[in-house]
Structure 1
Amino acid sequence: MSEQLLIDSHHHFWALDGSVHYPWLEDEIDDHFFLGDYAPIRRPFLPADLRALVPPGYRLAGTVHCEAEAARREPEVETRWLTQLAEQQGLPVALVGWAAFADPGCETQLDRQRESPLFRGVRAKPVTAARPDQYAATLGAPGSLQDSGWTRGLRLLEDRELSWDLRVPAWHLADAARALEETPSLRVILNHTGLPWDRSEAGLEHWREGMRALAANPNVAVKLSELGSPMAAWDEQRNIALLAETIDIFGPERCLFASNFPVTGLNVSYATWLAMVEQAIADADAGPGARQAVLHDSAVHWYRLPDPRITG
């Protein structure tokens, strides 16, 4: 039986050797990290480490690196380091950087990163509430999805044909859908299955409403990734059901396999996460091409990857 081609559309690399500074990994512990104690990942994670995690039966054809909260003053430092890493070690094949949307220097940050042939877009996180009962306090706050000074960054991405990696908890998904009405041609990839942290009945219904609102925009796709929650214990079967429901809402052509490693490794192994996504694809009963789409082809389309069989 031939190997299944796999593209991991969301992971992080860091060397922790001074090449790039990651305050949350190298300086003080972030007491508000959404998965709690993250001491096990405060060590280097590089292409060889990721390749070693891929189970038999799969060939890692490429990966997309997502910005890893490097020091914010010069985001191009991480982009340049990753570009050099790819030249030396073959991964990643594309990257998502960061830029300060509300900053007058945002244009310069974007254009410097565009010098890298791997640069595809930006993940910039708006101000959000850590819990649903705090949601109202963030509405209209500086840096929020209602702040026109911040959302100008989305227009800068649209003008440059760059994509936006959207990461907000589920109670902000509908807000994101509304904000995107101002940038109708912007390509958006929603992170982490829409972060359904609140697993109450009401919380999941809120998540579904937000996911449907985003799915109504044909330029939005979603990464099947990271279902760890600060509000609920890890539940493998329940998480598989959420992945399958996401495939039903967006369709396989707009769903991308993503590991979020090494972070997801705080809860589950790479092989187990991949098996969970495989089970969700089967449970969704989305047709004969669904597996190839989710595990490979969707990433090629949404991140504009070269499509031969990328790294060998």
Structure 2
Amino acid sequence: MLPIVDAHHHLWSFAQGRYPWLQHEYDAGKFFLGDYRALCQDFSCAQYRQASEGCNVVATVHVEAERDRGEQVAETAWLHEQHAAHGFPNAVVAHAWLDRPETEERLREHLRYPLVRGIRSKPVTASAPGHSVKGRPGTMQDERWLRGLALLPTLGLSWDLRVPSWHLAEAAEVAAMFPQLAIVLNHHGFAWDRSAEGLKQWRDGMERLAREPNVHVKLSEFGLRDGPWVEADNAVIVRETLAIFGWQRCMFASNFPVAGLRIGYRDLVDAMLRMTAHLAPGQQRAVMADNALRFYRIAP
């Protein structure tokens, strides 16, 4: 069985921290998968192990779980406690606002913890194609936001980029501005619109982003708001992403427990192995494990 490095998952404990989106600010209308009440409970290391039982998961990367923003560093500290007790996660992508006076201070606080490898700080984005927020505070054109982003490579941090497909071309402009910044696109750039027109928009954005050699991509979260998880449809997305970015810059990620709203962990891994079966064995292993080990600097 191939070793698996899960390059993107979440953990949370309501006893240890506050998660507004899961507790008192539930809003299925704003969530990309719709109803997510099944997520509104603890998801622990033990539950992750149970979900991934039978898969050869050798390391994981925890990405910030939108814990209360007053507890950004507390989340990082708690994740280190989980690593000490359970052996994972093996790398942490923390949160810090990039457009605040305290940005550098917060980044340095995270870096007191040895597993921190990167930051995910979502830029302000438009709610739909054709809408524009360009130049507004917190967007990818905001000078304060860009100054904060510029701190990441100087501190040895990567950036987990999460934007919908209609912002991929803008993200490419940012990637070109910071060639020394290691960037990884979350969730395949969200090819939510599977119509011919929607896929063309996604593909054009991905091709533009892939021209920047510092950008990688996570093969993750193929769930759709209004439909089931369909392997044949998702295989098209996976194979096109591999063709655009090359196997050297793609990495498997589960996005559990969120992806569990549509598919089980073992079923997801098995499907991903089938969808990447056209690769040579060493290439498939790189996608399923080695690329994430290298990007997040995890000791094998």
TM-score by shorter chain over 0.5: yes
1:262 shift after superposition: 0.4
1:15 shift after superposition: 1.4
Contact 2:175-2:215 at 8 Å conserved across structures: no
Contact 1:7-1:257 at 8 Å conserved across structures: yes
Question: Identity of counterpart residues, as a percentage?
Answer: 44
State yes or no: 1:183 paired with 2:178: yes
1:188-246 CA-partner distances (Å, limit 9, x unpaired): 01100111112221211111111112211111111110012336654331012101111
1:130 shift after superposition: 2.1
Aligned match of 2:288: 295
With normalisation by structure 2, the TM-score equals: 0.96
Aligned match of 2:85: 88
1:89-138 CA-partner distances (Å, limit 9, x unpaired): 1110111000010001010110000011110010010111222132x2x1
Tell me how far apart the structure 2 counterparts of residues 167 and 21 of structure 1 sit (CA, whole Å): 22
Matches within 5 A, 1:144-159: 144-159=139-154
Secondary structure at 2:225 match in 1:
coil
Q: Residue 24 of structure 1: which of 21, 24, 32 is its match?
A: 21
With normalisation by structure 1, the TM-score equals: 0.92
Aligned match of 1:257: 252
Matched length: 299
Contact 2:6-2:59 at 8 Å conserved across structures: yes
Tell me how far apart the structure 2 counterparts of residues 142 and 205 of structure 1 sit (CA, whole Å): 29
The one-letter code sitting in structure 2 at the alignment partner of 1:281 is T
Aligned match of 2:103: 106
Contact 2:17-2:71 at 8 Å conserved across structures: no
The one-letter code sitting in structure 1 at the alignment partner of 2:100 is D
Tell me how far apart the structure 1 counterparts of residues 281 and 26 of structure 2 sit (CA, whole Å): 45
State yes or no: 1:36 paired with 2:34: yes
Tell me how far apart the structure 2 counterparts of residues 246 and 171 of structure 1 sit (CA, whole Å): 16
Q: Aligned-residue CA RMSD in angstroms?
A: 1.4
Contact 1:199-1:232 at 8 Å conserved across structures: no
Tell me how far apart the structure 1 counterparts of residues 285 and 193 of structure 2 sit (CA, whole Å): 31
After the TM superposition, which parts of structure 1 deviate over 4 Å for at least 4 consecutive aligned residues? none
Which segments of 5 or more consecutive residues in structure 2 lack a partner in the other structure?
none
Matches within 5 A, 1:1-312: 3-17=1-15, 19-31=16-28, 32-56=30-54, 58-134=55-131, 136=132, 138-230=133-225, 234-282=229-277, 285-307=278-300
The one-letter code sitting in structure 2 at the alignment partner of 1:43 is Q
The one-letter code sitting in structure 2 at the alignment partner of 1:5 is P
Q: Which deviates further from its counterpart, 77-86 or 243-252? A: 243-252
Which segments of 5 or more consecutive residues in structure 1 lack a partner in the other structure?
308-312
Tell me how far apart the structure 1 counterparts of residues 193 and 99 of structure 2 sit (CA, whole Å): 29
